[in-house]
Structure 1
Amino acid sequence: DRLAKLIPDELKITLESAYKKEPELKELVDHDPQVGRLWRLALRLEGTISNCGTHAAGVVICDRPITDFVGLYQAKGTEAISTQVEMRYVEEVGLLKMDFLGLRTLTVVHETVHLVNEATGVFIDIDAIECDDENAYNLLRSGKTTGVFQLESAGMRELSKKIGLESLEEICALVALYRPGPMQFIDAYIEGKNAPDKVVYDHPLLEPILRETYGIAVYQEQVMQIVQAVAGFSLGQADILRRAMGKKKVELMAEQREKFVKGCKDANDIDGKLATTLFDKIETFAGYGFNKSHSMAYAFVAYQTAFLRANYPAEFMAALLTSESGNLDKIAIYVDECPRVGIEVLPPDINVSAKNFAVDDGKINFGLSAIKNVGDKPVEEIVSERQKNGPFRDIHDFCSRLASRQVNRRLIESLNKAGAFSSTNWSRSQVDAVLESALEEAQIAQKDREAGQSSLFDLMGVGEEEATASPFAEKPDIPEWDEAMVLQEEKEMLGLYISSHPLKKHMPMLRLFGTPGLDDLEEMPEGKIVNVGGILSQVKYHITAKGKKMAFLTVDMVEGPVEITVFTNTYEEYYEMLVVDRVLMIQAHVNYRNNTPGLVADAFYMMDEVEERLTKAVHIRIDANGFEDGRVEDLAVLLGSEHGSCNVFLHYRDGNGKEATVHATSACMVRPSRGLRDKVESLVGSGGYWCSAGFGLPSHNLDTDERIKVEPRPWERARHAG
């Protein structure tokens, strides 16, 4: 591992290059016998095939039996037939290799167009749209690109904002630049866009070729155009050079360099020094150059998704959610995104929901097939039965109308845990209590029907609806599951909380002490201290090079998930608190890595200690009567007995409703706690005690959500101003 860390982090670097570039590595190889032996073995292994694999999309095409050209094999456990040689040799023996990529996003685009047409009657010819829609570019420039193809990662969101995307060509360049090799040129690209007059070209012939990318060769096609323009290469010669550079064929490269330098002189009288400089740069460009036609295809799909999300957000989000049915983590992310763009997602409902997510009056109905353990076929049965014979009245009606192998106990339990029976006015606990008997009754009735037997109700002339409604449909008189259980089952079935949220009871503390705007970390400076309150939903452990533990956390806030890194020192102090599903307040700081912001944890607090640990000032309101009946004196005694380091502000309200604020003396400084709150409120009344997260800042009454301005004294104003 130590040797591996000494290899420079460069694209396609070889061991020989690493040996020449890294002095410490050279020292170890030359003077440590064990390392020397290891190094010689590594050199022999470098470039050899480490394992068999099959290209995800590569298809070999031939007009004769392929075994006339290459050997074939079938990997164990698969039906795929693969060639026994790797891709470059397949082409060298004359076979045609094509990559056919399936793209989920195309299904999202198609489904969105269908939903828009269904809802509005408008048909969007998505492949013929103009690429100048201002709504789409405003969306991209805002960085709010969840669901937008290629542009929804944190890094891409940040760059979309920095570049200020204004055209399809810029989206194309961003897609090509945001890769390990060319990423180093992104800042130069942005500078060039902001000041195109300051872009310097090595030769005037390069300007028309590189103008669109502000002096940077981003695409393979540009490399080919450059050698044609400055060295007089034909298109075929240019392609040979591109291939030689891309595959780093040393002998061919040396041959091409000589031809290039000579061509520059003959075609444009460019001297050898400049020609060599140009070739060196072209060689660097060719090593990472992206095919522009490939990049533009990606860019156009990115634009299509941005166009649909910006102009038809409900339909787009519904299609996006449907595409991820079965992936509860993704569904949770996209459902969390919906309220941010003004879209309400309604809970699953056996009497409303379809198989897929659907739009109704601007709202999204949760798709039944997205519920855990609920497949497409049983959902199709449920929807078909509902459409034919009307809504389901209760669990008995549901079971009797859908007595099949597809709609079984496990499926119904999953629907119930997800809250899908709520519209029948049966609680989850009531459905659960009678499910066994409802299924048994339905199965008996089904067998009787299959045997041609009439039920007692048939003989009496009682209709099916009346028969189902009595006597079996009586609701058991039992309480609903407690909220914690309801939410736990909901999260398991849907991947998210939809009827309420476990953080609801902590909202006063989260509003007061939590830092808002964490979905826009890029707006925050390096080192800014933030408080993150939420449920610890995931902990991933990592062993460092020194053998120490660190962790990567996912914290589900009310606004959505956030990722936090816990380095070794902090981990060792707080590791016992890192329990999944625990509600925590985490103090962290903003940290930038490769221009991308993240959060690094500094301290952890249980929610019941947040008030005590994070309160900066306690506020107490006293009315005029408090001075008359001696409560002020009692309050002074109480504060003295709860001495601590937290400032106290007293808000005096007279009989006319006027209020004055006094900063209490240091003798009255306290240690905040729930117990102190209860004792103070027993003297001054409910709502007469609240705390604030900042000294002298607007205060927040935790019980009434009332905000009160605390005026600092003159010397406090001076301190805040400084």
Structure 2
Amino acid sequence: FQLESPGMVKLIGEIGISNLDDLIAVIALFRPGPMEMLPSYSARKTGREPIHYDHPLLEPILKETYGIMVYQEQVQRAANVLAGYSLGQADLLRRAMGKKKKEIMDEERGKFVEGCARTNQIPRELAEKIFDNIAAFAGYGFNQAHSVGYGIISYQTAYMKANFPAEFMAAQITSEIGNFDKLPGFITETTDMGLPMLRPDVNRSSARFTPEGDGIRFGLAGIKNVGEGAAEAMVRERGPRGPFKGLIDFCERVDPQAVNKRVLEALVKSGAMDGFGQHRAQLFNAIDFALARAAEKQRERESGQQNLFEAFDVPPAGDGQADGALPDCEPWPVREALAFERELLGVYLSGNPLDRYRGYLNALATCPITEALAFNREEPRHVRICGLAAAVQRRIAKASQKPWATVMIEDGNDRIEAVMFNKCFTQHGAAAQPDRPLLVCGELTMRNGRMQFLANEVFGIPDAIERFTDKVNFFIKDSERQVEVLKQLQALMVQHPGSAAVTLCLMDPAGRRVLVEAGPSLRVKPDLAFIEAAEKLLGRSSVRITCREPVYLDYKIRQFRPQAAGFQDG
């Protein structure tokens, strides 16, 4: 945790860590107070600033930190070497400096200056300068022993992460089981490292997260509303008797006290029972049925009864061993199934809400996130970026008391933070909802050497498709029904009048393409209902959109944009 904040990651990249001593020093400096010394420390370490010692006797004490006092122990050693203090007296000096009481400081100053003159013949003026420098640091100095401990642990864990990534991340995520605020972040990091997160499975998952193949298997205890007790009960039962054959078999075998109805609902909704072969809605609706069957079996066992089939060790036809008797029903809509998954796992594993719009995102976006992240120019660039709102943080500016927000946008490969200052938030804040596919129109700019994405307009993807589409392109395959299909398409277009132009791409029997531009009298409203109805008629990926060239719908680009003093200004 000492090294994982964005500020620390950026600092380490700028300074560069050559050895364990560098790591220890950075951990001590990256905190309120000594943080103001970081620019000088970085410049001295990289040779951009000369290393200076107030007195030659300070070089052995401060050499490891490039002449900058970083640790409390350095205060004690300086007082000991320069002024002849005992280590006990030096520690009392450090404490006195930390309290900053004038009368105590004046007394200690006299002792220090006198000791420097007596021990090393250091002139009074220089001794006072050294005292002032030490006093400025002593109030916020960090204990070196603590920093060393943090540094060694950081080095060891970094080694494990680099050389045994699956094992390390499985252990790291397992340590956060029950902390559903942090769990999704670690799972996302695992995916970013190239380690696929495999869905939970009652027949393959352990209670904890475990390496499996090239990825990590989601632990049963990591599912919300399941818990370690229920997870361990499932794994224990599965061990000696083998995999569960279906929902009814599962309910008959596990301890109902440990695995209750709430746990079963979480297992089904999260996809942990997908391996049984039924869709999630069918399994979910059959939970009460399966529990009743299991309770009936339990009563028979307790009464010593045995049915005819069991007496001859023959499973009855349609028995719940394979769940063939589960009542059928309509599957959940993809969006609903994914929402349940995100709620219980913290992340999407079996799909993504963006999947529905993949065919249109390239047309809407003018810049992929990976390209935006590489932006490094003085002149701002105005772009449209598509992605899922993975996180939305609403805030209040300290100075103006006006609302603003940050939105983390991800496209499945990369992520970028969009900042919505008050004007944008007031106009478009309602669109910025978590787990919602968004189109964000804004500008990439550099501030203090760091790229920022400042949003000026934000739209939900369905709304953006309708508002930014200039032309709808239909691809119609050659078939015996081509004429009939064209008539049905024309009727559909008439039902959705609008302002978007229409292009037809017809395939003839020889495989040649014929492009037909519809006249101005035939324009359509390119809303999602129309496009999906057309795709149902023509086939998958048969409808494509062409979007307007201007980045913004209404926002007017200013020639010069004043640099913001900070996010807190909204």
Equivalent residue number for residue 603 of structure 1: 457
Equivalent residue number for residue 334 of structure 2: 483
Q: CA separation of 1:267/1:376 partners in 2, compared to 1, >3 Å: closer, same or farther?
A: same
Equivalent residue number for residue 479 of structure 2: none
| Unmatched 5+ stretches in structure 2 | 476-496, 506-510, 512-519, 551-570
What is the SS of the residue equivalent to 2:353?
coil
Q: CA separation of 1:620/1:440 partners in 2, compared to 1, >3 Å: closer, same or farther?
A: closer
Equivalent residue number for residue 137 of structure 1: none
Match of 1:443 among 295, 302, 309: 295
Q: CA separation of 1:608/1:449 partners in 2, compared to 1, >3 Å: closer, same or farther?
A: closer
Q: Establish whether residue 583 from structure 1 lines up as the match of residue 437 from structure 2.
A: yes
Equivalent residue number for residue 59 of structure 1: none
Q: CA separation of 1:337/1:470 partners in 2, compared to 1, >3 Å: closer, same or farther?
A: closer
Aligned 1:276-675 pairs, distance under 5 A: 276-459=128-311, 461-463=312-314, 468-469=319-320, 473-511=324-362, 513=365, 515-517=367-369, 524=376, 529=382, 531=385, 533-535=387-389, 537-542=391-396, 544-555=398-409, 557-559=411-413, 562-589=416-443, 599-610=453-464, 674=526
Match of 2:101 among 227, 237, 249: 249
Output the CA distance in 1 between the equivalents of 2:402 and 2:122. 58
Q: CA separation of 1:556/1:333 partners in 2, compared to 1, >3 Å: closer, same or farther?
A: same
Query: How much does 1:672 deviate?
Result: 11
Output the CA distance in 2 between the equivalents of 1:675 and 1:423. 37
Aligned 1:86-125 pairs, distance under 5 A: none
Query: How much does 1:430 deviate?
Result: 1.7
Indicate if the aligned counterparts of 1:350 and 1:382 stay in contact, CA closer than 8 A. yes
Output the CA distance in 1 between the equivalents of 2:273 and 2:57. 71
| Unmatched 5+ stretches in structure 1 | 1-148, 622-640, 652-656, 658-667, 696-722
Q: Establish whether residue 153 from structure 1 lines up as the match of residue 5 from structure 2.
A: yes
Amino acid corresponding to residue 571 of structure 1 in structure 2: F
Indicate if the aligned counterparts of 2:309 and 2:316 stay in contact, CA closer than 8 A. no
Output the CA distance in 1 between the equivalents of 2:157 and 2:32. 25
Output the CA distance in 1 between the equivalents of 2:126 and 2:104. 21
Q: Deviations over 1:228-253 (max 9, x none)?
A: 23223222221111111122233221
Output the CA distance in 2 between the equivalents of 1:266 and 1:471. 92
Equivalent residue number for residue 171 of structure 1: 23
Query: How much does 1:269 deviate?
Result: 2.8
Query: How much does 1:177 deviate?
Result: 0.9
Amino acid corresponding to residue 496 of structure 1 in structure 2: V
Output the CA distance in 2 between the equivalents of 1:427 and 1:290. 57
Q: CA separation of 1:282/1:613 partners in 2, compared to 1, >3 Å: closer, same or farther?
A: farther
- How high is the sequence identity, in percent, across the aligned residues? 38
Output the CA distance in 1 between the equivalents of 2:62 and 2:126. 17
Q: CA separation of 1:377/1:472 partners in 2, compared to 1, >3 Å: closer, same or farther?
A: same
Q: CA separation of 1:419/1:472 partners in 2, compared to 1, >3 Å: closer, same or farther?
A: closer
What is the SS of the residue equivalent to 1:229?
helix
Q: Give the RMSD, CA atoms, in angstroms.
A: 4.2
Output the CA distance in 1 between the equivalents of 2:317 and 2:239. 20
Output the CA distance in 1 between the equivalents of 2:498 and 2:270. 47
Q: CA separation of 1:693/1:235 partners in 2, compared to 1, >3 Å: closer, same or farther?
A: farther
Indicate if the aligned counterparts of 2:190 and 2:197 stay in contact, CA closer than 8 A. yes
Indicate if the aligned counterparts of 2:270 and 2:344 stay in contact, CA closer than 8 A. yes
Query: How much does 1:402 deviate?
Result: 1.7
Amino acid corresponding to residue 574 of structure 1 in structure 2: H
Query: How much does 1:212 deviate?
Result: 1.4
Indicate if the aligned counterparts of 1:245 and 1:287 stay in contact, CA closer than 8 A. yes
Indicate if the aligned counterparts of 1:336 and 1:559 stay in contact, CA closer than 8 A. no
Aligned 1:249-268 pairs, distance under 5 A: 249-268=101-120
Q: CA separation of 1:687/1:397 partners in 2, compared to 1, >3 Å: closer, same or farther?
A: closer
Amino acid corresponding to residue 460 of structure 2 in structure 1: M
Query: How much does 1:596 deviate?
Result: 6.4
Q: Establish whether residue 204 from structure 1 lines up as the match of residue 204 from structure 2.
A: no
Query: How much does 1:428 deviate?
Result: 0.7
Q: Establish whether residue 189 from structure 1 lines up as the match of residue 41 from structure 2.
A: yes
Output the CA distance in 2 between the equivalents of 1:433 and 1:620. 40
What is the SS of the residue equivalent to 1:328?
coil
Output the CA distance in 2 between the equivalents of 1:494 and 1:155. 28
Q: What TM-score results when the alignment is normalised by the length of structure 1?
A: 0.63
Indicate if the aligned counterparts of 1:397 and 1:468 stay in contact, CA closer than 8 A. no
Q: CA separation of 1:347/1:257 partners in 2, compared to 1, >3 Å: closer, same or farther?
A: same
Q: CA separation of 1:544/1:573 partners in 2, compared to 1, >3 Å: closer, same or farther?
A: farther
Q: Deviations over 1:56-109 (max 9, x none)?
A: xxxxxxxxxxxxxxxxxxxxxxxxxxxxxxxxxxxxxxxxxxxxxxxxxxxxxx
Equivalent residue number for residue 559 of structure 2: none
Larger relative contact order (CA 8 Å, sep ≥ 6): 2
Q: What TM-score results when the alignment is normalised by the length of structure 2?
A: 0.79
Query: How much does 1:426 deviate?
Result: 1.7
Query: How much does 1:219 deviate?
Result: 0.8
Equivalent residue number for residue 515 of structure 2: none
Indicate if the aligned counterparts of 2:437 and 2:460 stay in contact, CA closer than 8 A. yes
Q: CA separation of 1:383/1:514 partners in 2, compared to 1, >3 Å: closer, same or farther?
A: farther
Indicate if the aligned counterparts of 1:539 and 1:580 stay in contact, CA closer than 8 A. no
Query: How much does 1:275 deviate?
Result: 1.8
Amino acid corresponding to residue 109 of structure 2 in structure 1: R
Q: CA separation of 1:469/1:240 partners in 2, compared to 1, >3 Å: closer, same or farther?
A: closer
What is the SS of the residue equivalent to 2:245?
coil
Query: How much does 1:224 deviate?
Result: 1.6
Indicate if the aligned counterparts of 1:565 and 1:600 stay in contact, CA closer than 8 A. yes
Output the CA distance in 2 between the equivalents of 1:688 and 1:478. 31
Indicate if the aligned counterparts of 2:498 and 2:525 stay in contact, CA closer than 8 A. no
Equivalent residue number for residue 70 of structure 1: none
Q: CA separation of 1:437/1:673 partners in 2, compared to 1, >3 Å: closer, same or farther?
A: closer
